[in-house]
Homo-oligomer: A and B are copies of this chain.
Amino acid sequence: MITLAAAQLFREKGFPSTGMRDLAGEVGVEAASLYNHIRSKAELLQEICFRVANDFNAQLMEVEASENLTGLEKLEAIVRFHIQMWINRLDEVMVTNNESKYLEEPYNGTFLNERRVYVRRLEQVIEDGMRKGNIKKVQPYAVVLTLMSAVRGIEFWHRTKKNISAEELEENMVLHLVKGLKK
């Protein structure tokens, strides 16, 4: 898959520094041949960013619909999903986080808007949990900022994976980030 090879290169070298010749070498063809499969370099970035965004949105929608879960349980499900995305799909998720600023308009604007909406929906989960029950009194906006960024540290775990297993990492992060919010 060209898109996944692109995600790996965009992560490692950055989007502007990744040449079509680099990507072609990874895929095993000449640069010109890539254009039989893709329209442009910019399109590859769009596909990566919006696919990841869609996956996050779909999971959040699922959680919002789970009426049997408490607020804290919803938050835990969301945080676990973020952690697993960073563990299992690092290339795509890092490109979405670090390279989306290179999206051309109107895609960059759309992307930022989608992110704002996502943040607001996550704040809503926290507010509901605070009102109805088991989440302690905090500023939802500050908590969302913290949660969504904290998982970015998993980037460095990937470089060795020696200090701790994926499962231990997830449990430690959940304990630190979510259980600390229990009333």
Residues of A within 8 A of B (CB): 13-17, 98, 101-102, 119, 138-139, 141-157, 163-164, 168-169, 172-173, 175-177, 179-181
Flag if A164 contacts B142 (CB, 8 Å). Answer: yes
Residues from chain B with a CB closer than 8 A to the CB of A172 are: 138-139, 142-143, 146
Q: CB within 8 A of A138: which of B139, B157, B175, B181?
A: B175
A contact patch SS: helix
Q: CB within 8 A of A101: which of B14, B138, B156?
A: B14
Residues from chain B with a CB closer than 8 A to the CB of A14 are: 14-16, 101-102
* Closest B residue to A18 using CB positions: B16
Q: CB within 8 A of A145: which of B13, B138, B154, B181?
A: B154
Residues from chain B with a CB closer than 8 A to the CB of A157 are: 145
What would be 26 A-B contacts, judged by CB atoms less than 8 Å apart? A14-B15, A14-B16, A14-B101, A16-B16, A16-B17, A119-B156, A138-B175, A139-B169, A139-B172, A142-B168, A142-B169, A142-B172, A143-B172, A145-B153, A145-B154, A145-B169, A146-B150, A146-B153, A146-B172, A146-B173, A147-B150, A149-B150, A149-B155, A176-B177, A176-B180, A177-B180
Shortest Cβ-Cβ A-B pairs, 5 listed: A180-B180, A145-B153, A149-B153, A142-B172, A150-B150
Residues from chain B with a CB closer than 8 A to the CB of A148 are: 153
Flag if B181 contacts A176 (CB, 8 Å). Answer: yes
Residues from chain B with a CB closer than 8 A to the CB of A145 are: 153-154, 156-157, 169
